[in-house]
Each structure stands twice: as structure tokens, then as C-alpha cells.
Amino acid sequence: MIQSTQTKTTARLFDSYDDMVTVDELAKMLRVGRNTAYELVRAGIVPSLKIGRKQIRISKVAVIDYIASAGMMTQ
């Protein structure tokens, strides 16, 4: 129950973002540098989709799941 409440709280923090975000937006959401965000994507830690040759998109749900699994939830 606590996990569910924390996940909902985190989801509300990201209401202003689209359902799919860029790596730059991922960096802002996680408050990390751009290189760190790219490394999380490259390593498959945060699942992503590659569109064409260069565009990468990450689902907002994947970001929220990553935060929950990393124990980064706000209390």
C-alpha cells in the first residue's frame, strides 16, 4: 500500500511531461546529468525505444518504475 501511494505521488510530479520523454527530459526528471541519463539508457537500466537512427524515447512509466525500484521514492 505504501509503495502504491509513493508511486502515485511520483507520477504526479511528472504530470507536465508527455507519456514518452527524451533523454534530456529523463535527465531533468531524475536530476542527473545528460551523460548519466544516456548511460542509464545505454545500459538498459531504463528501458527505451530507438526511433530511426538517432531519436530515443523513454516511457514515463519506465521512469517511474526505475525510481520505485531504485528506492528513490519521496516520502
Residue-wise pLDDT for 7-36, tens only, equals 677 678 889 999 999 999 999 999 999 999
Give the CA angle between residues 72, 16, 56 to the nearest 5°: 75
The answer as to whether 28 is a domain residue is yes
The answer as to whether 75 is a domain residue is no
DSSP 53: T
The answer as to whether 55 is a domain residue is yes
Total domains present in the chain: 1
Residue 54 sits in which domain range?
Answer: 2-69
Q: What is the CATH number of the domain that holds 37?
A: 1.10.10
* Average pLDDT rounded to a whole number, residues 32-42: 97
The answer as to whether 74 is a domain residue is no
pLDDT of residue 20: 97
User: What are the residue ranges of helices labelled H in 14-59?
Assistant: 23-30, 34-42
Contact present, 72 and 13 (Cβ < 8 Å): no
Identity (one letter) of the amino acid at 45? Answer: I
The answer as to whether 26 is a domain residue is yes
- Tell me the pLDDT band of 41, cut-offs 50, 70 and 90: very high
For 21, other C-beta atoms within 10 Å of its C-beta total 22
C-alpha cell at 8: 502515485
The answer as to whether 60 is a domain residue is yes
